[in-house]
Amino acid sequence: MKIYNTLTKKKEEFIPLEEGKVRMYVCGPTVYNLIHIGNARPMIVFDTVRRYFEYKGYAVNYVSNFTDVDDKIIKKAIEEGVDASVISQRYIAECKKDMEAMNVRPATTHPLATQEICGMEEMIQKLIDTGHAYVVSDGTVYYRTRSFKDYGKLSHKNLDELQAGHRSIKVTGDEKEDDYDFVLWKPKKEGEPYWESPWCDGRPGWHIECSVMAKRYLGDQIDIHAGGEDLIFPHHENEIAQSEAANGKEFARYWMHNAFLNIDNKKMSKSAGNFFTVRDISEKYDLQVLRFFMLSAHYRSPLNFSAELMEAAKNGLARIVTGAERLRELAGKVQDGALAGEEKERLEELKSLTAKYEAAMDDDFNTADAIAAVFEMVRLSNATATEQSSRTYVETMLAEIEKLCDVLGLITEKKEELLDADIEEMIAKRQQARKDKNFALADQIRAELAEKGILLEDTREGVKWKRA
């Protein structure tokens, strides 16, 4: 199995630190709002990577954090007049709903930054003691970037180049020794959450959080660290500097980064009016379609999101689901009996398609080519499986398609259709919930209907609905 390593800029054979085991850390979202489809890409991609490792027989310790203390969380908490933890807990719960709807499995551990403060203080103190960090008069602790000789090895930039060409990323501070020193601990501001520390009452910098959570749940050294390519610099670069200076060994063997997601060939932004949450998409499509769409391109290729491409993904997924459903129906009709000679040949073809699927996934998780192999399996079954086939042939075909789709997180069962009367009943319950100001229940009913392919539109004339 080969993985493209951002650190070395080449594909490398995957050799685990411990035979049969994978230690994997994926940077999770900052929870101040509903997750957007840009957040969804790494969730889906690296969930699929994890599933494939498990398919290959590895035991995967998969850690993905929630950043639950951050300027944006604090800003929203102040706006609403609530504690920051109210905001973070609300959106952690919403994020988990969206992950479940995208068939993203829960991580082995989902650590919260606010629950790991002691570990952060310990690592910061160690960096101070070893000369990699220093404290200034207001209690701010900075990492001494130039003390780490390999700084820039992930982003393939050195500090002198950064100084010459990337002045905009500098963070200025009166007492900083160097413009590129970054914050490990900062003093509290009025109305902000804070923790006591030897340096001042305050809170950690963002970068130290992931270094400490990876160390606690995976150890000083891990196999794979992953996230979006926007995290390469400075976040992952700073993680390396902190972790390797504190732990005295290479932090991660392989660094994986997914490329950006654009909307109609433009960068997604609220100001451009092309910003979509996963929840927005769920009102138009089953989120299995979003997952299929994300996996239809290689994870290192930029991906363009558009209505046309989502329709194509919907149709592509439907071909697979319909093919699997046809085999299920046949399995209830065919007779027991030995495999015919021609069926044995066809199952050899099936084996070769499985090998093609595995070759694609072994080559840096090429999910686009893996999906192409599944399409070929569906075509083979559509052309050869009939009511005259043996049960063994039909069931073997179905089992293989289901198994390989499951690795991709794709569900092959058709969702049961709701009757019109059931839909009207659920809409009435939602309307009552809204009258009762039980907006959580109203949102839940809307989400349930969307999951079953029923889209609602609130109009002056009342609620209109249609099937997706």
Give residue-wise pLDDT tens across range 191-218.
Answer: 899 999 999 999 999 999 999 999 999 9
Does the structure show a pLDDT above 50 at 167?
A: no
Give CA–CA dist 184/134, Å, rounded: 10
Does the structure show a pLDDT above 50 at 90?
A: yes
**Helix (H, G, I), strand (E, B), or coil: what is residue 12?**
strand
Give residue-wise pLDDT tens across range 272-319.
Answer: 778 899 999 998 899 999 999 999 999 999 999 999 999 999 999 999
Spatial CB neighbours of 414, under 8 Å, sequence gap ≥ 6: 321, 322, 325
Pick the CATH number of 310-407 from 2.60.300.12, 1.10.3470.10, 1.20.120.640, 3.90.1570.10: 1.20.120.640
pLDDT score at 164: 54
Domain ranges in the chain?
2-258, 310-407, 420-467
The pLDDT confidence band at residue 165, using thresholds 50, 70 and 90, is very low
Check whether the bond before 234 is cis (ω within 30° of 0).
Answer: yes
pLDDT score at 270: 73
The whole-number average pLDDT for the span 424-444 is 91
The whole-number average pLDDT for the span 108-132 is 98
Percent of the chain whose predicted confidence (pLDDT) is above 90? 82
Does the structure show a pLDDT above 90 at 150?
A: yes
pLDDT score at 49: 98
Contact of 449 with 356, CB cutoff 8 Å: no
Helix (H) or strand (E) holding 456: strand 454-459
The whole-number average pLDDT for the span 115-135 is 98
- CA 160 to each of CA 152, 167, 171, 283, 401: distance values in angstroms, whole numbers, following the listed order: 10, 11, 16, 49, 53
pLDDT score at 171: 52
DSSP string computed for 201-263: SEEE-HHHHHHHHHHHHH-SSEEEEEEEGGGIIIIIHHHHHHHHHHHSS-SEEEEEEEPPEEE
Mean pLDDT of the chain: 93
CATH number of 2-258: 3.40.50.620
Does the structure show a pLDDT above 70 at 101?
A: yes
- Please give, one letter per residue, the 3-state secondary structure of 340-352: CHHHHHHHHHHHH
- CA 456 to each of CA 434, 442, 445: distance values in angstroms, whole numbers, following the listed order: 14, 12, 10
Does the structure show a pLDDT above 50 at 190?
A: yes
Give CA–CA dist 403/1, Å, rounded: 19
Does the structure show a pLDDT above 70 at 170?
A: no
